[in-house]
């Protein structure tokens, strides 16, 4: 069984890769250009993860997707991550659009809270395209990051706001030649370029009304990025509707919806990672079931990294951490060895 490869009560590869983004930001937060450098830093960490796992916690690299493996293990990857990803995607006849970049992108929505929406999209595309360049993967990452950013800023409160964020991200990606035509192939027609963001296919997933519509357990398609995106957006909508109907936001909303999603099967851990990020950003920490949050393996380690990130971003004060104000970055915190690329090993 797939799940048997993972430690009990711990997360899977999806969250390992999301943590690579967080650890990179913590390790490099004193560099004012760390977000510009994030794609390359993330790529280097991803290579280490594939070879040795999450070294900070001595976790093995389980669940490596085919595209991620093909791209990251290429000999020239560390020198040219995005170009390598483009070449591998083109070699599939520009067809593959798996969920591997969407599953890890959500921390960028938090990290970019203080940036404009377009700046957040740029960071999301930079990191996402180190492995996944298909426009469907790119737009999915932009939507996830944009919605999380908007939820945390109090700009997305109702479904109409979600719809608007979806449309803004879609139109922005559609307007970017490099994102729509990875590699800028001059011989492709406009129709060939735009087919990747086919409107009917997009709408079918992001405006789905039921999990059944998404057919998450469809054979040979469980890893399709739009299935993951659609289920994440739908769970956020259902959470909003539950609150709107007068239910006091409670951990039961999160738990019931997440269990419903997981029971649909398919790429359940990845769908859960993407959906849990959106729903959690909406409901907040108090909206998580205690027996899940308190029962999480490596809970104290995870909570310490979250606290450090909120301090670095200026969201909270240090609470005992030695902090120093530094220009655009509200606080600088002491380095921790396990946040380095090799986990302090």
**pTM tops 0.85:** yes
Taking all residues of the chain, what is their mean pLDDT, rounded to a whole number? 94
DSSP 8-state secondary structure symbol assigned to residue 339: G
Judge whether 217 and 266 are in contact, CB under 8 Å. yes
- Parse the chain into domains and list their residue ranges: 3-185+197-339
- Residue 67 to residue 99: CA distance in whole angstroms: 10
Query: Could you tell me which residues come within 8 angstroms of residue 252 by beta carbon, excluding any fewer than 6 positions away?
Result: 289
Topology adopted by domain 3-185+197-339: ADP-ribosylglycohydrolase fold (1.10.4080)
Task: Tell me which residue of 318, 343, 345, 319 sits closest to 333, measured CA to CA.
Answer: 318
- Residue 345 to residue 339: CA distance in whole angstroms: 10
- Residue 185 to residue 166: CA distance in whole angstroms: 27
Task: Tell me which residue of 131, 320, 86 sits closest to 225, measured CA to CA.
Answer: 131
Place of tokens 């302090």: 344
* Tokens at 119, concatenated: 């700046």
* Tokens at 304, concatenated: 């310490």
pLDDT (tens digit per residue) in 107-166: 999 999 999 999 999 999 999 999 999 999 999 999 999 999 999 999 999 999 999 999
Confidence of residue 344 (pLDDT cuts 50, 70, 90): confident
Conformational region of residue 53, where left means phi above 0, alpha means psi within -120 to 50, and beta covers everything else: left
Task: Tell me which residue of 126, 54, 77, 67 sits closest to 99, measured CA to CA.
Answer: 67
Residues annotated within the binding site are 12-14, 267, 269-270
Residues annotated within the binding site for Mg(2+) are 12-14, 267, 269-270
Identify the pLDDT of residue 320.
45
pLDDT (tens digit per residue) in 199-231: 999 999 999 999 999 999 998 999 999 999 999
Residue 245 has pLDDT above 60, yes or no: yes
- Residue 189 to residue 345: CA distance in whole angstroms: 50
């Amino acid at each position: 069984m797939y799940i048997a490869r993972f430690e009990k009560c711990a997360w899977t590869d999806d969250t390992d890769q999301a943590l690579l983004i967080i650890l990179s930001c913590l390790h490099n937060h004193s560099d004012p250009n760390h977000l510009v450098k994030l794609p390359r830093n993330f790529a280097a960490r991803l290579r280490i993860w594939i070879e040795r796992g999450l070294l900070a916690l001595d976790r093995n690299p389980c669940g490596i997707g085919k595209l991620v493996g093909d791209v990251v293990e290429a000999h020239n990857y560390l020198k040219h991550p995005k170009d390598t990803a483009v070449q591998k995607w083109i070699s599939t006849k520009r067809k593959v659009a798996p969920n591997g970049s969407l599953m890890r992108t959500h921390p960028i929505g938090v990290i970019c809270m203080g940036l404009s929406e377009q700046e957040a999209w740029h960071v999301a595309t930079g990191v996402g395209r180190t492995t996944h360049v298909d426009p469907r993967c790119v737009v999915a990452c932009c939507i996830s990051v944009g919605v999380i950013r908007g939820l945390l800023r109090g700009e997305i409160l109702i479904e109409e706001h979600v719809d608007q964020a979806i449309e803004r991200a879609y139109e922005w990606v559609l307007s970017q030649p490099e994102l729509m035509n990875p590699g800028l192939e001059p011989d492709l027609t406009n129709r060939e370029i735009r087919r990747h963001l086919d409107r009917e296919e997009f709408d079918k997933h992001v405006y789905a009304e039921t999990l059944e519509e998404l057919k998450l357990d469809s054979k040979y398609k469980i890893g399709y990025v739009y299935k993951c995106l659609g289920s994440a957006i739908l769970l956020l909508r259902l959470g909003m509707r539950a609150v709107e109907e007068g239910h006091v936001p409670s951990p039961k909303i999160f738990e019931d919806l997440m269990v419903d999603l997981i029971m649909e099967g398919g790429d359940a851990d990845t769908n859960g990672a993407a959906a849990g990020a959106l729903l959690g950003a909406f409901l907040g920490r108090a909206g998580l079931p205690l027996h899940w949050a308190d029962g999480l393996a490596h809970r104290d380690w995870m909570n310490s990294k979250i606290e450090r990130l909120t301090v670095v971003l200026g969201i909270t004060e240090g609470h005992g951490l030695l902090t120093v104000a530094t220009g655009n970055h509200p606080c600088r915190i002491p380095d921790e060895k396990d946040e380095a690329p090799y986990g302090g090993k």
